């Protein structure tokens, strides 16, 4: 084992409160993208393992749902405090398995801590409505009921934060969870399950089954006892899940990426805009659903913006995220690196001008990791593939425009609708943009990343299917509305008929 933080040579599934091997006996290495050292091994489970997890979850959920929500929430408070105590250790492990720089890893763990306390608070709210009945001596209200067993499928780019967005509301609302984490980043799942165990979550309420989407994910979708699937990942996989869940009338919540833009108007504070672009484009090496991959710039400030961006990009330090001086870490794996690199040729062939970066970094200290140089294309037109498709890497395309109207049109002219941003000092521009940008998240004078956990996270068009993660909106995914009528008149009162 290459580090002392993680002692297990091979992780185990967590089913019914027990740590168990997968029935397949197979495993895959978990590789640190900064240096390609093996951190541990992740089991590759089978449908049978999912079946066991679902049975455990089903049995546990019946009891869990009967515990008052404020008491269920106490487990989440304990989870939050344990995460806080272990923040530094968790952050280091996160950097090792995912590659993001330590400062960002700390931010991600904090996002999980925030979610724990926020959702624990929901245990004393979980508000429904009370409303007058149209009939005398009759009471009407709506309450949130748990859906039962929920399936969550989480990505490698935010292996702990996104898991908390989904599992915490599900658990506080009285559901039991079957969770398939990404095989690239299972250590965060393993650590979070250990924390839940320590926090006293009853066995079977949270079950972790490691393995591939094709086998474990597929088995979860096929299981009739899983009533909701909440998925974050690619648009391609999301569509398959949605179709299969549709055929089974299973509720499905999808979050599938973005092609997010920063708009820079001629009246913008350029220094601030450059800071916002750098942080949201090259932070996490561009591997965020919310990453900025387009800059839509007013032609009057295009040259000035390019110049400042290039100057600041030259200062970015690249390397192993455990080194506190590093600003941009590695790419998750070889496949990710190849995908990004493919877009370099595509962009050049389409006629875009490459101003910086554009290559895989292989020399010296980069030889054993997966690194891509921060990249800037300019004179990009809105219909080019580099301006349309999600690259998921440190690559930005500059698109010049003549007006706010054109900027908004260009922003909206993509398949996705997750996040957008505008830098401007004009109040009319602010409100016009906030109204007309067709994305689930809009930032003013900030980059495209940085969502806070008590607001809804998700987007329009190809980004999602109308649901949201985090915020109160997450409760809508993991609860059913139940309308309850109590007639205390002592006689049969017919709605719509016995109304005086
Ligand atoms: C993601 O990229 O899938 O707003 C999640 C942000 C983070 C979450 C990103 N708080 O960038």
Asked if residue 286 lies in contact with residue 392, where contact means CB atoms within 8 angstroms, the answer is yes
Per-residue H/E/C for the chain: CCCCCCCCCCCCEEECCEEECCCCCCEEEEECCCCCCEEEEEECCCHHHHHHHHHHHHHHHHHHCCCCHHHHHHHHHHHHHHHHHCHHHHHHHHHHHHCCCHHHHHHHHHHHHHHHHHHHHHCCCCCCEEEECCCCCEEEEEEEEECCEEEEECCCCCCCHHHHHHHHHHHHCCCEEEEECCCCCHHHHHHHHHHHHHCCCCCCCEEECCCCHHHHHHHHHHCCCEEEEEEECCHHHHHHHHHHHHHCCCEEEEECCCCEEEEECCCCCHHHHHHHHHHHHHHHHHCCCCCEEEEEEEHHHHHHHHHHHHHHHCCCCECCCCCCCCCECCCCCHHHHHHHHHHHHHHHHCCCEEEECCCEECCHHHCCCCEECCEEEECCCCCCHHHCCCCCCCEEEEEEECCHHHHHHHHHCCCEECEEEEECCCHHHHHHHHHHCCCCEEEECCCCCCCCCCCCECCEECCECCCCECCCHHHHHHEEEEEEEEECCCCCCCCCCCCC
Give the pLDDT score at 500: 75
Mean pLDDT, range 310-328, rounded to an integer = 98
Query: 172: which residues sit within 8 A by CB, 6+ positions away?
Result: 69, 72, 73, 76, 119, 120, 122, 123, 126
Q: Of 94, 154, 188, 290, which is best to mutate to test ligand 1, by the most ligand atoms within 8 angstroms of its C-beta? A: 290
CA-closest residue to ligand 1 atom 8: 451
Mean pLDDT, range 296-321, rounded to an integer = 98
Q: Which domains does the chain have, with CATH numbers?
A: 5-256 (3.40.605.10), 260-444 (3.40.309.10)
Share of the chain above pLDDT 70, in %: 99
**Position 3 pLDDT exceeds 70:** no
Asked if residue 178 lies in contact with residue 207, where contact means CB atoms within 8 angstroms, the answer is yes
The residues lining ligand 1, judged by C-beta closer than 6 Å to any ligand atom, are 111, 157-158, 288-290, 449-451
**Position 64 pLDDT exceeds 50:** yes
292 counts as catalytic: no
CA 305, 391, 216, 187 dihedral sign is: negative
Radius of gyration of the chain (CA): 24
Give the pLDDT score at 1: 40
Instruction: Give me the catalytic one of 184, 191, 245, 289.
Output: 289
Give residue 5's pLDDT band: very low, low, confident or very high (50, 70, 90): low
Label residue 45 left, alpha or beta by phi (over 0 means left) and psi (-120 to 50 means alpha).
Answer: beta
Q: Of 160, 233, 451, 456, which is best to mutate to test ligand 1, by the most ligand atoms within 8 angstroms of its C-beta? A: 451
**pLDDT tens by residue, 268-281:** 999 999 999 999 99
255 counts as catalytic: yes
Asked if residue 178 lies in contact with residue 54, where contact means CB atoms within 8 angstroms, the answer is yes
Give the pLDDT score at 268: 98
**pLDDT tens by residue, 241-276:** 999 999 999 999 999 999 999 999 999 999 999 999
**Position 6 pLDDT exceeds 90:** no
Phi, psi (rounded to 5 degrees) for 94: -65, -45
Query: Whole-number mean pLDDT of the chain?
Result: 97
Tell which atom from ligand 1 comes closest to the C-alpha of 441.
4
Asked if residue 75 lies in contact with residue 171, where contact means CB atoms within 8 angstroms, the answer is yes
**Position 292 pLDDT exceeds 70:** yes
Q: Ligand 1 centroid to 493 CA: how many Å?
A: 51
Give residue 4's pLDDT band: very low, low, confident or very high (50, 70, 90): low
**pLDDT tens by residue, 138-177:** 999 999 999 999 999 999 999 999 999 999 999 999 999 9
Q: Ligand 1 centroid to 491 CA: how many Å?
A: 55
Asked if residue 398 lies in contact with residue 440, where contact means CB atoms within 8 angstroms, the answer is no
Q: Of 108, 152, 443, 457, which is best to mutate to test ligand 1, by the most ligand atoms within 8 angstroms of its C-beta? A: 457
**pLDDT tens by residue, 206-228:** 999 999 999 999 999 999 999 99
Q: Beta-carbon neighbour count of residue 472 at 10 Å?
A: 17
Instruction: Give me the catalytic one of 255, 266, 306, 390.
Output: 255
């Amino acid at each position: 084992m290459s580090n002392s933080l993680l002692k297990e040579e091979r992780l185990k599934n967590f089913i019914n409160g027990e740590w168990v091997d997968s029935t397949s006996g197979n495993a895959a290495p978990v590789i640190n993208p900064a240096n390609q050292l093996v951190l541990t091994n992740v089991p590759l489970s089978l449908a049978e393992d999912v079946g066991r997890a679902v049975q455990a979850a089903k049995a546990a959920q019946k009891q869990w749902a009967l515990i008052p929500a404020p008491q269920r929430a106490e487990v989440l408070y304990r989870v939050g405090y344990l995460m806080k105590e272990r923040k530094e250790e968790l952050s280091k492990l996160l950097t090792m398995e995912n590659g993001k720089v330590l400062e960002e890893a700390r931010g991600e763990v904090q996002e999980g801590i925030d979610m724990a306390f926020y959702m624990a608070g929901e245990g004393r709210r979980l508000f429904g409505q009370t409303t007058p009945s149209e009939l005398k001596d009759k009471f009407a209200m709506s309450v949130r009921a748990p859906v039962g067993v929920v399936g969550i499928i989480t990505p490698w780019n935010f292996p702990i934060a996104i898991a908390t967005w989904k599992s915490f509301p599900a658990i506080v609302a009285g559901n039991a969870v079957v969770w398939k984490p990404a095989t690239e980043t299972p250590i965060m799942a393993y650590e979070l399950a250990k924390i839940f165990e320590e926090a006293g979550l009853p066995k079977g309420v949270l079950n972790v089954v490691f393995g591939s989407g094709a086998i474990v994910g597929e088995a979860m979708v096929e299981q009739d006892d899983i009533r909701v699937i909440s998925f974050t990942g690619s648009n391609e996989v999301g569509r398959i899940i949605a179709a299969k869940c549709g055929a089974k009338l299973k509720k499905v919540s999808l979050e599938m990426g973005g092609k997010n833009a920063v708009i820079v108007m001629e009246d913008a504070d350029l220094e601030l805009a450059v800071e916002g672009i750098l942080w949201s484009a090259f932070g996490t090496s561009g591997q965020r659903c919310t990453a900025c991959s387009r800059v839509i710039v007013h032609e009057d400030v295009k040259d000035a913006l390019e110049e400042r961006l290039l100057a600041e990009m030259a200062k970015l330090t690249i390397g192993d995220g455990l080194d506190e001086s590093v600003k941009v870490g590695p790419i998750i794996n070889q496949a990710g690196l190849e995908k990004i690199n493919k877009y370099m040729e595509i962009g050049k062939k389409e006629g875009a001008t490459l101003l910086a970066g554009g290559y895989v970094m292989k020399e010296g200290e980069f030889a054993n990791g997966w690194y891509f140089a921060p990249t800037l294309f300019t004179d990009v037109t809105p219909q080019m593939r580099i301006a349309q498709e999600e690259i998921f890497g440190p690559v930005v395309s500059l698109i010049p425009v003549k007006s706010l109207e054109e900027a908004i049109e260009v922003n909206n002219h993509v398949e996705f609708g997750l996040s957008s941003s505008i830098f401007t000092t004009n109040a009319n521009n602010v409100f016009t943009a906030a109204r007309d940008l067709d994305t689930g998240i809009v930032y003013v004078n900030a980059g495209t990343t940085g969502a806070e956990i008590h607001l809804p996270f998700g987007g329009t068009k190809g980004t999602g299917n109308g649901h949201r993660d985090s915020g109160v909106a997450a409760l809508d995914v993991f609860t059913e509305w139940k309308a309850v009528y109590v007639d205390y008149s002592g006689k049969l009162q017919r709605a719509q008929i016995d109304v005086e």
